[in-house]
Amino acid sequence: MPDIIDTAINANTFNTLVTAITTAGLDTALKGSGPFTVFALTDEAFSKLPSGTVEALLEDVLELRKVLEYHVVAQKIVAVDLAQLSEVTTTQGTDLKIDSNNGVKVNDATVVTPDVSADNGVIHVIDRVLIPQ
What lies within 8 Å, CB to CB, of 8 at 6+ separation is: 14, 17, 18, 21, 40, 123
Distances (CA, A) of 87 to 13, 30, 81, 90, 97: 27, 22, 11, 10, 4
Report the pLDDT value the prediction gives residue 99, as an integer from 0 to 100: 96
Residue 17 Rama label (left phi>0; alpha psi -120 to 50; beta) = alpha
The secondary structure of residue 103, as a DSSP letter, is S
**Three-state secondary structure call for residue 62:** helix
CA distance 98 to 93: 16
Per-residue pLDDT of the chain (133 residues; tens, 9 = 90+): 899 999 999 999 999 999 999 999 999 999 999 999 999 999 999 999 999 999 999 999 999 999 999 999 999 999 999 999 999 999 999 999 999 998 999 999 999 999 999 999 999 999 999 999 7
Report the pLDDT value the prediction gives residue 46, as an integer from 0 to 100: 95
Direct distance between the N- and C-terminal alpha carbons of the chain, in angstroms, rounded to an integer: 35
Q: What is the mean pLDDT of the chain?
A: 95
Pick from 11, 126, 112, 4: which is nearest to 70 by CA? 126
CA distance 111 to 66: 21
